[in-house]
Structure 1
Amino acid sequence: MECSKQRPSLEFVESAFWCLGGDSLFPLFPLSSKGEEAIERKEDLSQRLHPPKRIEGGLGVKPLREWNETLLVKNLWRVFAHKDTLWSKWVNLEKLKGGSIWDAVYKCNDSWGWKCILDMRNKIQNHVVIDNGSYKWKKNDGSVVNYSTQQVWRDLRSNRVKVGWHHVIWFKGLEPKHAFIMWLATLHRLYTQDKMKSWMPQVPLLCPLCEKTNDSINHLFFQCEFSSCVWKDIKAKLIFRGLPYSLDSIVQRMAVYPFTKNIWNIVNRLVIAACVYFVWRERNARLFRHQKKEALKVGEDVQNYIRWKLLSLTVKNSSAIRKVADLWNMKWVNNRFKFV
């Protein structure tokens, strides 16, 4: 019996090689036309909700379309600047026949990738200048610099308004899963019951923690009777004991303070993110696995997590360090926190 092998489609091949760069034989191909259409709707919504830079309230992931265009510019630059790469030499000799890529026109049998590279000419024509016989990149502010992919990305991407709370969530030392849940909660993007109510208006939904009303971001963090007990016990161990029982207000309050390596700045942010994470985890455990913990036990989980995080810090002795050690039932020995 003869086995048949299915050849990969052109769309798959193009999408697989679009990210290859360096001195590779393959240029930075764009996604195929079908691939672009498939991601266009989701990407437009995603970019509005989650900007690429963390300082703009995003997750720090580059949008595929904008990054793809930036890499296409790299190929275009290699061709008209006559860079010493195999692919650019082939394009100039065989495809352009010694002509300029700025004068090249589409042909019926041109590949999709080549057409997209030519389309990038209109986007960068105001950024390309000749300085002392060599090509340079003109930034948005008018200054002229050497070409770099990073600078092209900065000038071509869509800039968004910076947020003041990014340092409350994104900082060294915070566990990624805590930062991710905290980020979603800050943006009100967690799937809480107030959102599900619009999908299933006929189904009665109650907060799994207090069983009195629908849960929502403001309810879960920390206006629910259950979560408010957790937050009340935990914030007694913070220097900012007057923090409110609303996550939005807490984030706004913390965003005012500049982020430094002060021990209280670190502990405060660790505690807020940990409370959000462990309350959300308890909510899901009750809802999907029918497992329950008392508020006191969830509070203990938060405290144990913070104490283990403190063990990883190297700190010098000070009054603030001694205060933190006292509040969290620890001691300071040789620039490290230790369990009592």
Structure 2
Amino acid sequence: MHGRYIKGGNFWDATSNILDSGTWKHLSNTKSKALECIRKSIGNGETTSIWFDPWIQEGRIVDLLHSLSPQQTGTGNWTVSRLIHNSQWNIIIPCLIPLLPSIANISITGQKDSCKWLPTGNGVFSFYSAWNHIRSSGAVFELYNVVWFPSSNPRMSYCLLKALYNRLSTRDRLINFGISSSDICVLCNLAKESRDHLYFQCPYSIFIWKLCKLKLQMNDIDDRDLNTEAQNIQRNFKLKDKSYILARLALNSTVWHVWQERIRRIFQNQKMHKIMVFRRIYEDIKISVEFNCLACMAGKD
């Protein structure tokens, strides 16, 4: 990396171009955020650049003294050790005099220089703290534990998540994009296809979901709405109850298989009876439960 990208310069100011590797370009784009989290702790100053490393509280000196470049002073490659004499600060660069109060507050330990990671209290880097620093935080998704849980199938969970956010490519949305010419539901051929119709106003999906609720001994309600069903599962079942796992598996699997049946009819011109779709849902839940039980037994051994 030093030979190809930095070439004797400074890591923080090295740039990227279109022909560079994706890894280096990504590193270049996140350097500014990394600088906010890193502070060099001065021991003997031998590995810390005066100008380019963040070793004082205000940040990098090269960013603070905009009107003066390191090349003008002839100290561009100097390390902080040049400012230390007999374990005391010896500021021999005149332009650094305004920063003397900040520099004087830094203790010189005489040990090797080290990096301190500011987002954590102990100064030690962790991927958890780094991810929390760079990611964009949003509102908490209230139904997260209905979508994602240890026994869930990632593909089914993702399909349910898209359905809850109304991001599935239903025909009402495709028509708005100018992609589809028909908006009729292919499962019932009775109404306009939308997220709300598929889950659960369509006679085809209503029948399947009713069978699932009957097996789970869930109370049937008049409101045929996916979000309402998910909220009822979250509210009516205890977190550590086995029936809660079954209810979440049933909702995940039902949304997935209804969507797969829609795709099968549109792109493969094949139809599956709703009883057979329910059978597949039942088998998926059975396999998930058996696998979870085997994993628990293996963990105890």
TM-score, with normalisation over the residues of structure 2? 0.64
Letter in 1 for 2:41: A
Q: Give yes or no for contact 1:209–1:226 (8 Å, CA) kept in 2.
A: yes
Alignment equivalent of 1:164, drawn from 134, 138, 142: 142
- 1:13 paired with 2:12, answer no
Compare 299-308 and 166-175 and name the one that shifted more.
299-308
Alignment match, 1:219: 197
- Give the structure 2 partner of residue 249 of structure 1: 228
Mapped contact 2:233–2:244 kept (Cα < 8 A) = no
Q: Give SS of 2:191's match.
A: coil
Matched with 2:41 is: 81
Give per-residue Cα distances to partners, 1:185-226, cap 9 Å, x unaligned.
111111111112223399332111011222111111111011
State whether residues 164 and 255 of structure 1, in contact with CA within 8 Å, keep that contact through their aligned partners in structure 2: no
Q: How does 1:1-340 map to 2 (within 5 A)?
A: 10-13=17-20, 15-18=22-25, 28-30=27-29, 70-73=33-36, 77=38, 80-81=40-41, 89=47, 92=49, 96=52, 102-105=60-63, 137=118, 144-149=121-126, 150-151=128-129, 153-154=131-132, 157-200=135-178, 203-242=181-220, 244-257=223-236, 260-314=239-293
The alpha-carbon deviation at position 166 of structure 1 amounts to: 0.3
Give the secondary structure class of the aligned counterpart of 1:286.
helix
- Structure ID, larger Rg: 2
1:180 is displaced (CA, Å) by: 0.8
By relative contact order (CA 8 Å, sep 6+), the higher-ranking structure is: 2
Letter in 1 for 2:225: S
- Which amino acid is the alignment partner of residue 159 of structure 2? I
The answer to whether the Cα contact below 8 Å between 1:230 and 1:296 also exists between their aligned partners in 2 is yes
How far has the Cα of 1:176 moved from its partner? Answer: 0.9
Q: Secondary structure at the match of 1:159?
A: coil
Cα offset, 1:81, TM superposition: 3.2
1:241 deviates by 3.1
3-state SS of the aligned residue for 1:172?
coil
Instruction: After TM superposition, give the deviation of residue 30 of structure 1 in Å.
Output: 1.9
Secondary structure in 1 aligned to 2:118? strand
Q: Which amino acid aligns with 2:20?
A: V
C-alpha separation between the residues in 2 aligned to 1:197 and 1:176? Answer: 29
Higher alpha-carbon deviation: 255-264 or 242-251: 255-264
> What residue ranges of structure 1 are gaps of 5+ in the alignment?
1-8, 20-27, 32-67, 111-129, 316-334
**Structure 2 gaps, min length 5:** 1-15, 72-104, 109-113
C-alpha RMSD of matched pairs (Å): 3.9
* Matches of 1:225 and 1:165, distance apart in 2: 25
Output the amino acid matched with 1:200: G
Give secondary structure in 2 for the equivalent of 1:237. Answer: helix
Give the CA deviation at 1:258. Answer: 6.8
Provide the residue aligned with 2:84 in structure 1.
none
For residue 137 of structure 1, what is the amino acid of its counterpart? L
Q: CA deviation at 1:313?
A: 3.1
Q: 1:190 to 1:259 in 2, by over 3 A?
A: farther
Deviation for aligned residue 1:146: 2.4
Deviation at 1:245, TM superposition (A): 2.8
**1:28-60 per-position Cα deviation (integer Å, ceiling 9, x unaligned):** 4227xxxxxxxxxxxxxxxxxxxxxxxxxxxxx
- Shift, 1:302, TM fit: 0.8
- The 8 Å contact of residues 188 and 203 in structure 2, kept in 1 or not, is answered as yes
- Matches of 2:186 and 2:258 in 1, distance apart? 11
CA contact (8 A) 1:227 1:279 kept: yes
The aligned residue for residue 91 of structure 2 is none
Cα distance in 2, alignment partners of residues 277 and 199 from structure 1: 23
Q: Matched residues in 2 for 1:283 and 1:98: separation?
A: 57
% of aligned pairs identical?
A: 21
Structure 1 residues 138-195: Cα deviation after superposition (integer angstroms, max 9, x where no partner): 78xxxx5425353354356543221221000111111111111011111111111111
Q: Give the count of matched residue pairs.
A: 234
Contact 1:165 1:251 in 2 (8 A): yes
Distance in 2 (alpha carbons) for counterparts of 1:163 and 1:269 = 16
Q: Distance between the aligned counterparts of 1:104 and 1:231, measured in 2?
A: 64
